[in-house]
Structure 1
């Protein structure tokens, strides 16, 4: 594994640094909006702007890379992300910030597509799983560091935005100086939503709902803590706990789904997500208890997306898997774009607990749908299930990093 990771150090350093800056910026924007008296609905709209930009960018940036190449595109989108981070203190909060987050989303889509297609080019069949693991470690570690940076004492209103911009700008250095040759752009056509639903109704619905849930959480999770009476430090550690819980349990739960009926595992995880969300909604903020509940919520919820991808792939021919995984990333992003807007309305109606009541409601609908599918159709035999693989929820290009999809294409 280490040999595979050492073959792409500049790319992994870039994604780590970028995710630290981007994750820090995302939570910072929500916290500043809340401190400025913005309604939860407006904070949700700003959060929606980012995921809408990510969805649009994932469909449009590929053409730019084809014209000017990976390094120039990466430099351009990193500069856009850095510039928009610096613009927040001088643009009036509200719809102006939603527009900036939309541009952030487009820029991050460009970052992900550049790096993921590069990693796909460098990974051989025997090392693809190790490269993907290194990518996920760098991505989640950067995301967790971004939350911890919120605990630093920065009294200057503009300084945190400048720090986010610096991290993003520094991420361009290892890419600009890399000696790794630029790859040909990967441009698999994602399967359409109707096709995905026909292949695996639970996989499709589960992915959309997971997007609704985690788009809402990333946009409003820190605001929930503040409105429960917590401090900025409390919000930072709560967000970190959720991310670390998700990292810790994804692989064990995935392996569990390899040994047992995957559909039953997905249904059980949605059931557990209902309980952890309701506990967070009803218990309020209580120090260590809230961190433990946050870790449980993250541990159960983060595993749902890769499990839904694996469940969908269980129904597909090997050569269809990259297109299906790419389509699932897109519908996840669409759900994530809608979620913050709806969750913001729930917080306006029910108070801070409205966020997790909304998340519990989303999980409950999918839990019921899963039970209905369990009653209507037979499960895939365990012997025919593909092995679980942790996958990023970034852009359709990430699907090309799936080692099982690659093996399937080679065999086809």
Structure 2
């Protein structure tokens, strides 16, 4: 018997996916030793409120802790990140030097905010990222001091939500993005243009197709302006860098797994793949960090940074971890997300990447109350609603069924509609200065 045979199951990543996965282990009858490892000192907490209610001051950072839905009887190892994995010895090395054995392993380390490089003055004071609870607490304190001008770099979900929150607080805001509109890479420029109109109406100074080269500071080391690639300068005494995230996989660098900044590659049952493509039967992954072949999109490898996926995939991986090898279930989750910004509730289902057409099938773009459907090669692949979610569940079912595009015609409250190109920006190599990763 190996040294790890009685070590039980270890969950690396005290996240939403990790917590719900641990709870699912108990619900599925696992009664053995259970250990949860987290790099932050906090118990698992909810991230969506951080860029909304926490920044606004409506919610204290420590009020975001997730409830325990099942009695875990677990050993919590918080505040010490995993820094290495030895698959042969079945051990995990922590930052404090501790070495923990495991019998089975669930990886739920999630993602980390892409920082601005120190070489481009990213080490100046008052430059923030927003990913974790401490990030939100520090940023909230800085916003409460009343900066003269907030500059946000990146108009994805986090950047737009932060801009909306800052305007609600009465703070002057400038928002820069390398793309022609906000959310261009996830919604396309035609739908993204609606957000651009909202930005303008709310008083946000939006600069599309803008790239920051560097930040400049004063004698005290505090940021005072940004230098743009086109020669312009933007004054700011507080900067929020919202350029997406990279998956937290550095600790797996020498583990011999298919793991990189884009995630940990899994098979359809959430089992992690070794570098040679073989399955690791004792290691699973779930949540933001997992990259798996989604059968709803032709088996294409996808990774999804959405709340619902973290919950569902954590539970699915846990179920498979305690099931026999011959009873491994495939994971076919339909991605979904929501965002609240500028008084609009945005909800989306599916993956719009690769869409060649889009149509507003309910409401109108002019009213900013509508439901739009995305198609690819004649099939419906995604849908998004702006304050018009009544039909969204029906479109979600149609997308999962692989229905033609658009799948629903002649609905009782549906007018005439036309199809057009979504307007996705062309792909380009990512860098800190010109590319935001949008979800």
Higher normalized contact order (CA 8 Å, seq sep 6+, divided by chain length): 1
**Max radius of gyration: which structure?**
2
More strand by share: 2
Question: Do both proteins adopt the same fold according to a TM-score greater than 0.5, normalized to the shorter chain?
Answer: no
Q: TM-score, normalised by structure 2?
A: 0.28
More helix by share: 1
Q: TM-score, normalised by structure 1?
A: 0.29
